A and B are shown apart, each in its own frame.
Chain A
Amino acid sequence: KNEVEQSPQNLTAQEGEFITINCSYSVGISALHWLQQHPGGGIVSLFMLSSGKKKHGRLIATINIQEKHSSLHITASHPRDSAVYICAVLSGGSQGNLIFGKGTKLSVKP
Chain B
Amino acid sequence: DGGITQSPKYLFRKEGQNVTLSCEQNLNHDAMYWYRQDPGQGLRLIYYSQIVNDFQKGDIAEGYSVSREKKESFPLTVTSAQKNPTAFYLCASSIWYWGSTEAFFGQGTRLTVV
Q: Quick one: CB contact mask for A79-103 with B, threshold 8 Å, 1 for yes?
A: 0000000101010001111111111
Distance between Cα atoms of A94 and B59 in the complex (Å): 13
The answer to whether A100 and B43 touch across the interface, beta carbons within 8 angstroms, is yes
A27 CB–B CB distance under 8 Å: no
B55 CB–A CB distance under 8 Å: no
**Which residues from B are CB-within-8-Å of A96?**
31, 33, 48, 50, 94, 97-99
The answer to whether A42 and B99 touch across the interface, beta carbons within 8 angstroms, is no
What is the CB-to-nearest-CB distance from A60 to chain B, in angstroms, rounded to a whole number? 18
**Which residues from B are CB-within-8-Å of A43?**
90, 92, 105, 108
Q: Which residue of B lies closest to A41 (CB)?
A: B108
Q: Which residue of A lies closest to B108 (CB)?
A: A41
**Which residues from A are CB-within-8-Å of B33?**
96
The answer to whether A100 and B100 touch across the interface, beta carbons within 8 angstroms, is no
A63 CB–B CB distance under 8 Å: no
Distance between Cα atoms of A86 and B88 in the complex (Å): 16
B51 CB–A CB distance under 8 Å: no
The answer to whether B42 and A103 touch across the interface, beta carbons within 8 angstroms, is yes
A4 CB–B CB distance under 8 Å: yes
Given contacts A41-B90, A43-B90, A102-B42, contact A95 B108 (CB under 8 A): no
B interface list, Cβ under 8 A from A: 31, 33, 40-45, 48, 50, 58-59, 88, 90, 92, 94, 97-108, 110
Given A42-B105, A86-B43, 18 other A-B contacts at CB below 8 A?
A: A4-B42, A31-B99, A31-B100, A33-B99, A40-B108, A41-B88, A41-B108, A41-B110, A42-B106, A42-B107, A43-B90, A48-B101, A88-B42, A95-B97, A96-B94, A97-B58, A98-B99, A102-B42
